[in-house]
Amino acid sequence: MKMLINVPETVVADALRGMAAAHPELTVDVENRVIVRRDAPVAGQVALLSGGGSGHEPLHGGFVGPGMLSAACPGEVFTSPVPDQMARAAAAVDSGAGVLFIVKNYTGDVLNFDMAAELAEDEGIQVGKVLVNDDVAVTDSLYTAGRRGTGATLFVEKIAGAAAAEGRPLERVEAIGRQVNENSRSFGVALSACTTPAKGTPTFDLPAGELELGIGIHGEPGRERRPMMTSGEIAEFAVDAVLEDMPPRNPVLVLVNGMGATPLLELYGFNAEVQRVLAERGVTVARTLVGNYVTSLDMAGASITLCQVDEELLRLWDAPVKTPALRWGM
């Protein structure tokens, strides 16, 4: 497999050096692998901290900035960051108002963030936590106990980030983040497997003419494998899987997310089918976001995430944000 890298051992460090050069509004500590908004800590504001394995870009580093995350900690590819990273980041962004950890439900992430919280609290930092577990495809996987955290991570980070920017206390920002997670469900589909730099070959075998329904973001196999389907058929399967688990009572935010190798031409076409199915099911759409936001290296495919919103959550979603990957209103 051809890759635009030097050697697998330096791929994360090289990416961080490039990110630092492209985004002077961020402080990127390449050695310690911590990405911080340059104006942190922001007086009187709760800080938001997240992280996870590299390979899901722009998640999480691309979401650091005003209105979203205060800091992010990238691990090795598909590997959790270590507790010292998160504790160092928490100390860098805490203004005295506390730090909210946003954690995708993968075993390594959960364990390491819990240890980081203990380290931070030992230093007098107040810590809250939101566990993201929105995936409806499988209950347990190779990497999780319980549901995986996927596309809803973006909704949690954006909406909780807006609440923090308004000066809400830690308990309230945490409650809002948990509400967003509880109101969100996701389902993903792979048309091809991804290839990690260290392995150099696909993470699983997906024959030509077949697709994997219900995949995760680490190349995990999904719910079932079927012959290739049309965009409309995939949209019906994925939307129905989400709605079976969460019949919406309110309007929804829609994320049509590319897995890394699917062009916008296909994603916008897929979004047209998702919107059609939602309309046929009587679901009101408040806002839609289309693009590559929570990826799996070079995997071809897409995921959909629906998040039920009331007036407050919608207002916080619309609030200004300025990060490398998500920005409006500023």
- Of 3-7, 37-41, 49-53, 144-148, give the lowest mean pLDDT range: 144-148
CA distance 117 to 78: 21
Q: Is 60 a catalytic site residue?
A: no
pLDDT at 142: 65
In 3D space, the residue among 313, 322, 31 whose CA is nearest the CA of residue 183 turns out to be 313
Peptide bond into 202 cis (omega under 30): no
**Strands 26-29 and 47-54, how do they pair?**
unpaired
pLDDT recorded at residue 146: 85
Rg (CA), the chain: 19
Q: Which of 51, 1, 6 is nearest to 29 (CA)?
A: 51
How would you class 31 by CB atoms within 10 Å of its CB: exposed for 0-12, middle for 13-18, buried for 19 or more?
exposed
Share of residues in the chain with pLDDT > 90 (%):
91
Q: How confident is the model at residue 143 (pLDDT cuts 50, 70, 90)?
A: low
Beta strands in 9-137 (DSSP E): 26-29, 34-37, 47-54, 71-77, 99-104, 127-132
Answer yes or no: 56 catalytic. Answer: yes
pTM over 0.85: yes
Over residues 256-267, the pLDDT tens digits come to 999 999 999 999
| Inter-helix orientation angle 83-93/107-122, to 10° | 50
pLDDT digit string, tens, across residues 75-127: 999 999 999 999 999 999 999 999 999 999 999 999 999 999 999 999 999 99
Q: 145-159, pLDDT tens digit by residue? A: 789 999 999 999 999
Helices (H), 203-263: 231-245
CA 138 – CA 46 distance, rounded (Å)? 33
101, 158, 218, 299: the active-site residue: 218
Of the listed 56, 60, 104, 148, which one is catalytic? 56
